[in-house]
Chains A and B, each alone.
Chain A
Amino acid sequence: MTQWPLVLPVFIPLLTATACAFSFRSHKLSSVISWAGALANLCVALLLIQRVISQGLLVTAFGDWQAPFGIVFVADLLSASMVLITAIIGVAIVLYSTTDLRSKPFYAIYHSFIHVLLAGVMGSFLTGDIFNLYVFFEVMLITSFGLMVINANRQQVDGAVKYVVLNLISTMVFLLAIGLLYGATGTLNMADLNAKVALLPETTMMLIAGLFLFGFAIKASAFPVFSWLPASYHHLPSAIVALYAALLTKVGVYALIRVFTVVFDLVDSGYQPLLIIIAGLTMLTGVLGAASQFNIKRILSFHIISQIGYMLMGLAIYTPLAITGAIFYIIHHIIVKANLFLIGGFLQRRQGSDNLRELGGAYQSMPWLALLFLIPAFSLAGFPPLSGFWGKFLVIKASLQTDAYLLAATALFVSLMTIYSMTKIWAEAFWKPLPDNAAAPIALTRLENCLYIVPIVALAVITILIGLLAEPVYQLAETSAINLLNPERYINAVLGNMPEPGQISVLAAGESQP
C-alpha cells in the first residue's frame, strides 16, 4: 500500500477541482468541498512525510512500467516536506479565499483552479521524471494564467499577458533542453540520468545544463529574467497573489535544486560562478526594487525576488550546509511570504486600497493585527529567534566557510534593506494616523473577520514554531541536503537496485548538531 500516499497528493486536488466546478450553483457547497479537499490533502501530506521518515524513500511506477522506462513518483525527504508545506498553504489559502473572493463571479471556478494549481505544484515536487516535471509546469502555468484572467480588468490582462509570454519562453527552453537531453542520453528518468549525463561530452552537457538553468531561472524569477513577477502580481486578488507568491517561484527553485544535484553536478557543469553572481544580483535588485515602491503588494512582490536570491545562494555555494540552508529557507519563506500577502490583503479589504499613502491607523484600530504583521515581517528580515534568522544564518555561515565574503556581505546588506521595507509598511499602514482623505474602514462581519484571521494566525504560529523548534527542521533539511549531494540512495530506490529501501531511518544520517 505504498502507492496511496504518493498518488493522493495529486489525485485529491484534481478530484476536488472537478467537484468544485460541478457545484458552481451554490457558494456554500463549493466552499465546503474546497475545504474538505484541502484538509484531506493536508492529512495525506502528513501521512506521506511520516512514512518517508519511518520507511525511507517511497517510489511508485505508474502503470507498473518500471523506471527508467515508465514514469515514477518518488517521495524523498525533500519532496515530502515540500508537499507538506504546499498542503498547509493550500488549507490557508482556501480558507482565506472563502471570504476574499466571495463577491466575485465564478467563485467556484476560482476554487477549482486553486486546486488544479495545487495538484500541479504537488506533482512537480513528487515526480521523478524530467518530462513529467515539464507537464506539471504546464499544468501550473495554464491554471495560474486562468486564475489571472477570470473576471479580469484591463490591467490584470496586461499583467497576465506579460506573465504568460515570459513563462512560455521558460517552458519552451525547458522543453528544448529536455529534447536535447533525451537525444543525447536516451532517458528522462532523473535517477537514470545521473550516471548517463556524466558520460556526455563536456560541451553537450554544458549546453543542456545552461538551457535548464535559463528555463528554471525564469520560473524562479532570478536576476536578469524576473520582470514578469512585479509586472503581474500586484493586480491580482489577495488570496491568489498569496498562493502564487508562496508556491510558483519556489517550484522553480526546487527544480533547480533537484536538477543541479541529482541530474547535473553544479560544480562539474561549470555554472557555479555564474550562479553565485546571479544569486547576489537577484537579492540586490529585488530589495532595491522594493525600496522604491509604495504599494504593499508591489513591495512584497519585489521581496519575493530578493528572497529567491538567498535560496539560489545556498544552491550556488553547493556545500551540504549551504543546501541545508537553501531548503530551510524555502520552507520558511513559503509560510512567511504567504502570510505577509494575506495580511496585506486583509488591510486592503478593510481600507479599500493597498497604497501605503491611503492607509494608516491600523495599529490603533487593530493592535493584534499589528502584532501578527510583526511576526512574519521580522521573520522575513531575519530577526532571531524567528524562522528567517535560521535560514539566513545557515546560508551566510556556509558562504563564510567557503570564503565567499562578498556574497555574505551582500546577503547581510539585503537583510538590512528588508528591515527598511518592512518598517515602511509598519510605519505607513499601522503607525501613522489614517489620512483625512482616506475612506472609512469597511466593517466586516464576525465570520468574515474569522476567516481572514484564522489562516494568518495559523501561519504566524507555524513561523514561530519553525523558529523555536529549529532543530528538527534543520535535521530534516540537512538530511535532504546530504541525500541530494549523495544521490545513490535515491538512484538505487528508483532503479530498484537495492533489495529494500525500508528499515533505514532517514533521520539517522542527520544526527550532527548545527
Chain B
Amino acid sequence: MSSIIFRTSAHIVTVLMLVFSVYLLLRGHNNPGGGFIGGLIVVIAFALLMLAESPDYVRERLVYSPLAFAGFGVVLALLAGVLPLFFGQPFLTGLWLGKIGSPLLFDVGVYFAVLGSVLTILLNVEEELS
C-alpha cells in the first residue's frame, strides 16, 4: 500500500466520508440512513486511513480509545431511553422540541457505539496480523 496516489487520496476521501456519515446520520430521521449506517461509514473511512498509513496513525488521530467512543455511545442511547421516564412517559418514548427530539439523541448514541466497537475490533485485528 505504498502507492503515493492511494496515500494522498485516502486522506481526502476519509474526510469526505466522515462528512457523508454525518449526513447519513441526520438523514436517517425520515429517509434511509441512520446511526448504524453512519457509524459503519466512519469505520470504513478510518479503515482506509489505516491501510494507507498504519493502525497507530489512526489511534493517534482518534485521540480517545475507540472503546471510549463505544461507551459514550451506549450512555447517550441509554440517556435517550431514560429521559422520557422523568416526564412520566414509558421508556424510549420520543420527546420533541420542534423537529429535534430524543430519537436523534438515540441515533447519535448508536452512531458512536457502532463506530467505537467496530473500530476496536478492526484495529486489534490489524495489529494482531501485522
A and B co-occur in one complex: yes
- Chain A CB within 8 A of B40 CB: no
Residues of A within 8 A of B51 (CB): none
Residues of B within 8 A of A60 (CB): 90-91
| Known contacts A3-B85, A7-B82, A22-B68: A63-B75 contact under CB 8 Å | no
- Chain A CB within 8 A of B67 CB: yes
Cα A21 to Cα B73 in complex, Å, equals 13
Chain B: interface secondary structure?
Answer: helix
- Complex interface bits, B93-125 against A, C-beta within 8 A gives 1, otherwise 0: 110000000000000000000000000000000
- Chain B CB within 8 A of A18 CB: yes
Residues of B within 8 A of A7 (CB): 81-82, 85, 91
| Known contacts A18-B75, A22-B71: A11-B88 contact under CB 8 Å | no
- Chain B CB within 8 A of A64 CB: yes
- Most B C-beta atoms less than 10 A away, residue of A11, A15, A18: A18
- Chain B CB within 8 A of A462 CB: no
B74 touching A62 by the CB < 8 A rule? no
- Chain B CB within 8 A of A69 CB: no
| Known contacts A11-B78, A11-B81, A15-B78: A3-B91 contact under CB 8 Å | yes
Chain A: interface size category: 10 to 19
Q: Which residue of A lies closest to B65 (CB)?
A: A24
- Most B C-beta atoms less than 10 A away, residue of A7, A14, A63: A63
Residues of B within 8 A of A4 (CB): 85
- Chain B CB within 8 A of A447 CB: no
Cα A42 to Cα B90 in complex, Å, equals 22
Residues of A1-19 at the interface with B, using a CB-CB cut-off of 8 Å, are 1, 3-4, 6-7, 11, 14-15, 17-18
Residues of B within 8 A of A21 (CB): 67, 71
A63 touching B67 by the CB < 8 A rule? no
- Chain B CB within 8 A of A61 CB: yes
Q: Which residue of A lies closest to B88 (CB)?
A: A1
- Chain A CB within 8 A of B50 CB: no
Q: Which residue of A lies closest to B91 (CB)?
A: A7
B71 touching A18 by the CB < 8 A rule? yes
B78 touching A14 by the CB < 8 A rule? yes
Cα A61 to Cα B67 in complex, Å, equals 31
A61 touching B78 by the CB < 8 A rule? no
Expressed in whole angstroms, the minimum distance between the Cβ of B80 and any Cβ of chain A is 11
Partner of A61, one of B75, B81, B88, B90: B90
Residues of B within 8 A of A17 (CB): 74
Interface residue count on the B side (C-beta < 8 Å): 16
Residues of A within 8 A of B88 (CB): 1
Residues of B within 8 A of A64 (CB): 89-90, 93
Q: Which residue of B lies closest to A72 (CB)?
A: B90
- Chain A CB within 8 A of B58 CB: no
- Complex interface bits, B60-88 against A, C-beta within 8 A gives 1, otherwise 0: 00000001100100110010011001001
| Known contacts A11-B78, A14-B74, A18-B75: A63-B90 contact under CB 8 Å | yes
Cα A17 to Cα B67 in complex, Å, equals 12
Expressed in whole angstroms, the minimum distance between the Cβ of A180 and any Cβ of chain B is 27
Cα A61 to Cα B81 in complex, Å, equals 12
Expressed in whole angstroms, the minimum distance between the Cβ of A172 and any Cβ of chain B is 22
Cα A244 to Cα B85 in complex, Å, equals 32
- Chain A CB within 8 A of B17 CB: no
Expressed in whole angstroms, the minimum distance between the Cβ of A288 and any Cβ of chain B is 42
B78 touching A63 by the CB < 8 A rule? no
A63 touching B74 by the CB < 8 A rule? no
Residues of B within 8 A of A22 (CB): 68, 71
Residues of A within 8 A of B93 (CB): 62-64
Partner of A3, one of B68, B75, B90: B90
A15 touching B75 by the CB < 8 A rule? yes
Residues of A within 8 A of B81 (CB): 7, 11
Expressed in whole angstroms, the minimum distance between the Cβ of B29 and any Cβ of chain A is 15
Expressed in whole angstroms, the minimum distance between the Cβ of B104 and any Cβ of chain A is 14
| 23 A/B residue pairs, CB under 8 Å, sorted by A | A3-B89, A3-B90, A6-B91, A7-B81, A7-B82, A11-B78, A11-B81, A11-B82, A14-B74, A14-B78, A18-B71, A18-B74, A18-B78, A21-B71, A60-B90, A62-B90, A62-B91, A63-B93, A63-B94, A64-B89, A64-B90, A64-B93, A73-B91
Additional A-B contacts beyond A11-B78, A11-B81, A64-B90 (19; CB < 8 A):
A3-B91, A4-B85, A7-B81, A7-B82, A11-B82, A14-B74, A18-B71, A18-B74, A21-B71, A22-B68, A60-B91, A61-B90, A62-B90, A62-B93, A63-B90, A63-B91, A63-B93, A64-B89, A64-B93
| Chain A contact residues, CB within 8 Å of chain B | 1, 3-4, 6-7, 11, 14-15, 17-18, 21-22, 60-64, 73
- Closest CB pairs A-B (n = 4): A63-B92, A18-B71, A7-B91, A64-B93
